[in-house]
Amino acid sequence: MPGFELFGDAERKQVNEVLDTGVLMRYGFEGMRNNIFKAKELEGALAARFNCKHTLLVSSGTAAITTALASAGVGAGDEVIIPTFTFVASFEAVLALGAVPILADVDATLTLEPKAVEKAITDKTKAIMPVHMCGSMADLRALKTICTTHNLILLEDACQAIGGTYEGKALGTYGDLGAFSFDYVKTITCGEGGAILTNNEKFINNADHYSDHGHDHVGNDRGAETHPFLGYNYRISELNAAVGIAQLNRLEEFLAIQKKNYTILRDALSSIAEIEFRKVPEGGIENYSFLSFFLPTEKLTVQTHKALAEVGVDGCFYWYANNWHYYKKWEHLTEKKSLGKLPQEMLDGLQDFSKTNFSNSDQWISRNISCLIKLSWTEEQVKERAQQMVECIKSQL
């Protein structure tokens, strides 16, 4: 991770095919295209690779989450349960629909704890959205059982876990809906882009219309299409989709490199008795984009993270103090900062963050370090890095 590390001739070839037609928009202009439809081609390839009936490309992972929620009928005042550890896009997508993000604790999986989810459910809850951060997944079986019991939508934010699986199913396809991101630093990239995955025909039709101003895409005359309901512009371009085609063709290559490099590092760190590795639920297989582990105390974790940087081991993240990925630094959400007036239903529904207790999350995230696994490392570099990490961590214990 990420795919841009190995960007090359295959990607350029796909992009040049679009440039040769001069048609950069995914819809219309059939007479000019020379039968080149990169977005449609990538959607078909994604559906085949991830064994999913329907996929829809959009402009970003954020757009994918927003569109997926909208397609399932999530709207003003509805509550969507999300983890305390995620990227800000997760709650931004919920807020964009006038809905209410409800934060719940994470556990050793680094994503939603099922018991915390159950406690957070109210009569306004519409969906549960586990976020498969750093390449691994939540306890999806438990969450799916909760959703079935309470008649809720299970939406997997798999933006950081493309290629991982759970109980033999691709992450993003286990729930009712899934979302991928193809931004510049994801396992495979379109530069910018995202995708919705579902086996539900109603949801994909809704998503198709919603992501293109409500266009129903019936017939061959875009100007004559009708608008069954309101929508917005979340379209992907043909150029972005073209890059994605080449990258998807290389996914198995990328995953194999990640697993090899991850395994070398994990085997080395396994020699340190004080390290506890992130929990992967039974039946789950990571995409190996990050190696995440816990140290015994917050103080020791802070010291170790600093020491790793000082000896030149880059790409190790301490999320507890991160501005973008942990709730403690989301003051724009917790203090309700907005350029304009927020809907009253949203304001009334948001948690009072002066009273919330996420100490269960804190005790995991404050002791966690997640190390990015790069595709461009040589085997010699990985082994050297592993030795550096072991020596550095042991020096702090």
What's the pLDDT tens digit per position in 366-390?
999 999 999 999 999 999 999 999 9
| CATH value at residue 219 | 3.40.640.10
pLDDT of residue 359: 98
Q: What is the CATH number of the domain that holds 315?
A: 3.90.1150.10
User: Are 90 and 133 in contact, with CB atoms under 8 Å apart?
Assistant: no
Residues 324 and 184 placed together within one structural domain of the fold: no
Final residue before a domain boundary, out of 230, 250, 270: 250
The mean pLDDT value for 138-156 works out to: 98
Q: Are residues 348 and 289 in the same domain?
A: yes
Please choose, from the candidates 105, 115, 112, 154, the residue with its C-alpha nearest in 3D space to the C-alpha of residue 133: 112
**Same-domain pairing of 291 and 267:** yes
pTM of the predicted model, to two decimals? Answer: 0.97
| Residue 228 to residues 23, 67, 195, 201, 223, Cα–Cα distance (Å) | 27, 16, 22, 16, 14
Q: What angle do CA 205, 206, 211 make, to 5 degrees?
A: 105
Same domain, 139 and 36: yes
Beta sheet of 165-166, edge-to-edge order: 169-170, 165-166, 284-285
Q: Do 235 and 289 sit in the same domain of this protein?
A: no
The predicted model gives 82-89 an average pLDDT of 98
Q: Is the pLDDT of residue 220 over 90?
A: no
Task: For CA atoms 224, 230, 232, 237, give the dihedral sign.
Answer: negative
- Ramachandran area for residue 82 (φ above 0: left; ψ -120 to 50: alpha; else beta): beta
Same domain? For 391 and 268 the reply is: yes
pLDDT tens column, 354-365: 999 999 999 999
Q: Are residues 200 and 294 in the same domain?
A: no
* CA dist 234 → 78, 127, 189 (Å): 22, 22, 17
Q: CA-based Rg of the chain, rounded to a whole angstrom?
A: 21
In this prediction, residue 2 carries a pLDDT of 78
Where among 192, 217, 250 does a domain terminate?
250
Residues 159 and 35 in one domain: yes
309 and 191 part of one domain:
no
What average pLDDT does the structure give for the chain?
A: 97
On the question of pLDDT at 152 being above 80, the answer is: yes
What is the extent of the structural domain holding 153?
3-250
Half-sphere exposure of 88 (CA within 13 A, CB side): 10
Are 153 and 175 in the same domain? yes
**Rounded distance, CA 4 to CA 83, Å?**
28
303-345 pLDDT, tens digit each: 999 999 999 999 999 999 999 999 999 999 999 999 999 999 9
Is the same domain home to 201 and 117?
Answer: yes
Q: What domain count does the chain have?
A: 2
Nearest to 190 by CA among 14, 356, 376: 14
- pLDDT of residue 1 exceeding 80, the answer is no
Note whether 292 and 309 are same-domain residues.
yes
pLDDT band at 3 (very low <50, low <70, confident <90, very high): confident
For residue 50 the two structure tokens come to 């991830």
| Coil vs helix vs strand at 307 | helix
Residue at a domain's end among 206, 221, 250: 250
Query: What is residue 275's predicted lDDT score, i.e. its pLDDT?
Result: 98
What is the share, in percent, of the chain residues with pLDDT greater than 90? 98
Q: How many angstroms separate the CA atoms of 183 and 59, rounded?
A: 9
Buried b (16+ CB within 10 A) or exposed e, 238-263: bbbbbbbbbbbebbeebbebbbebbe
